[in-house]
Structure 1
């Protein structure tokens, strides 16, 4: 028992250390890894993923050669954490392929394409939780420049459609059927993907920000092949869930109201209460697997 407790405590420490190191890297210097350095190491016969991992570990101050604790941390996390992504695979996504995002600016808001530099790191999927309790973030990179749609507010990225959104919405897109309700509009990725499905009859989007709705209706919705399926309602998500959701005869409900886990936990738990009141509806939540790691 004591040995198991000690092991669990060590794993929690490892989880905390990895998240702290990654947070500093992703928030402050996600593009510091040099393309030439990766390719130089890869010439020895290792993959670019491994080369990227070694460089990142060294930047974190880990000695994976002579320090056993550092080497164990590397082996337990980095091999499942770092991923080289295929730019062509994401560029062929139906939304990327069929929806053109114009450059547009009004007031403090701007719609445009942003870019990942070659070997720039970014979150690319939900956290993986292993049987022993390790929580492994998912970090991706491309070996060439990659563009993605974004809305900026006051010069800062506010909403995007990146590989992370694509990966973390695969399940709720696949699961959607019948009359779909989604909380949160963003750039309309979820609404677009489910509107393309034969099994989906309608898509009702609840969004509180009228500015986002206007932008979407003017620049993006007209490009939807099945835009007649889509209805946008300007309302607060929780007010709608409280007063109108039960009357809508929805089959599937997807909630995407938060930016990440840090601001999502409270809203997730709050929306789960309405799930209990609507047992005939199927519910899904953006990055739920990652949120559950913290509950």
Structure 2
């Protein structure tokens, strides 16, 4: 015969205190006094026969058994919250994506219709953040970022490696008789010469100190904007070829050199708070994104075959 559970109010109080490590904050969340929360914890410990918290001056800590219990209890309550949210339909049918401009314009915008056709019960809202803005990791269901790491503890899914090489409109290249050498490349305008990717690429190509000072200083801060300038024939842009696949395949842009560099510490990441790991809509979206990337034959960064817990 299964053993009976401790009183639910005591379990609920334990779950809140274990997250906040504070009787006061747990009481505020539960609408209880600190004394009432403390009483529920006392009842729980009496029922279990061991202490779940160690009381110290000005703070409390989980005991070893308390920490073991908290892991399952917090996860269980989160599953309950997710289940009730899905049943009520409150936010369960709206997926909010906070994405940087490059990924939103060069990837999501042209593909999202397919995801919506596969999941007609979900309404999708993209909230892009600008080139010099920081993503608001806590204001969306999922966040797609490049240069900004997600908060510690987030569930992360690597998407696209930060690879880069010069791309240019064929008409501009033809105007100087073609681009065959690094010296040829320096004959045409360089878009965003202050972008550190330029120096990294030239160094890898065998020219560690190229003179880019003749070109006006500018920083678009977004590959989507830089690619538009390159398409307009305004100069060579240092871009991730994957995000320009259509332009390269149609011949609107060309890649003069085979050399493609990769930034060791950057990549596009999808992330979301750990408490959302059981969300149906997030799971559907993540699975779809990975399937789309694999469909393109992209060599996904390590960790993309499954979601980190």
TM-score, normalised on structure 1?
A: 0.27
TM-score, normalised on structure 2?
A: 0.26
Larger relative contact order, structure 1 or 2 (CA cutoff 8 Å, min sep 6):
2
Query: Over alpha carbons, which structure has the higher Rg?
Result: 2
**Which of the pair is proportionally richer in strand?**
1
